[in-house]
A and B are shown apart, each in its own frame.
Chain A
C-alpha cells in the first residue's frame, strides 16, 4: 500500500521501496513477540530487558514499514514512519526513538542507567505496537 508521505521519503533517499513480503512481515512480528517476552523476564538484568524491549520495538515497527512496501536501515526513520504506517502520534514513537538514543549513548559513553519504570513503559508501548501491526496485516 503506497503512501504519498512515504513515497516522498523514498524520493529524498530516506527510505527504500521494496515490495511487500508477507512471510518476512510475519517473521519480524514473531521476533518482536519473542523479544517482548524476554523483556518481561524479571530475573534478567534491566539492561538486558531494555535491549530486548528496544529490539522488539524495532522489529515490529520495521514489520509495519515492510508491510507497506518500504524498508530503511536507519532506525530513527523506522520509528518516525510509525506516524504514516500506523497513524501513531509523535509522543508515542518518540519514546521508542529515545530508547534508540539511550542505547547509542551507552555505546559511546558507557552509560546505561536503565530504570524499571523505563522498561515498564517500553513493554506497554511495544505490546500495543505489536497489536497495531497485527491489526494492520490482518486487514
Chain B
C-alpha cells in the first residue's frame, strides 16, 4: 500500500521508515510499546523489529525495558534529534498528510489552511485539527470522507469548515466574522494562496 505517494517523504524514507518515524519523531515526547507501534504503523513484526533495532543500536531511539516489555522513544540526546524531528514534521507531519488528502478535491477546492491550536503550535497529541476550506460545490460529507485516511494516519480528529468563494468574500468583508478572526491568527497554508487578514 502506497500511503504517501510521490512526495519528498517517499524520496527520503522507505515506506516502513515513514510509517514508523511519523510516530517516533513526529511525537518525540511519547514512548511506545512494541504492540502499540505495530498497531499504529501497520507494519509486520519482522520489519518493525528490524527498523527499531537499527534506530536503537545507533541511539537514535531509546529502548527501555519496563518489566518484560520494551518501550521505545526518540532519544533527545542524539546529535541529530532536532533535525530528525523537524524533517519528520515537515515531510510526514500534519501539513503534508493533509495536502495529500485534499488533492482529490481539486480543482473545486481553491484554498485550504490549518488554523487553531495546531497552527499556533499550542496543540497537544489530543487536540483536534481545525481546517478551513474555500471552494465551489464543496460538501462537508465529501471533505470528511477525503480526510478519513489522514485522521487515521495522524491519530487526530479533523474539523473542516467549508465556504464557497462568494460566502468567503462576504465574511471577509465583515470585520468581526469568524473567518477574519481565524485569519488574524497563525495559519498553515495547505492549498492555494494564503489569505491576509483584512
Contacts and interface: CB of A to CB of B under 8 A. Distances in A.
Interface string A29-41: 0000000000000
Interface in B161-185: 162-164, 167, 171, 177-179, 181
A98 B140 contact: yes
Interface stretch (A5-13, A52-60, A64-72, A117-125): A117-125
Contact of B148 (A91, A101, A125): A91
A125 B140 CA distance: 11
A89 B162 CA distance: 20
A90 interface: yes
Contacts of A90: 144, 148
A91 B138 CA distance: 14
Interface of B: 138-142, 144-145, 148, 159, 162-164, 167, 171, 177-179, 181
Contacts of A98: 140, 159
A91 B141 contact: yes
18 contacts: A90-B144, A90-B148, A91-B142, A91-B144, A91-B145, A91-B148, A92-B141, A94-B144, A98-B159, A111-B178, A113-B178, A115-B162, A116-B167, A117-B138, A117-B164, A118-B140, A121-B139, A121-B141
Given A113-B179, A115-B164, 10 more contacts: A91-B142, A91-B144, A91-B145, A98-B159, A113-B177, A117-B138, A117-B164, A118-B140, A121-B140, A125-B141
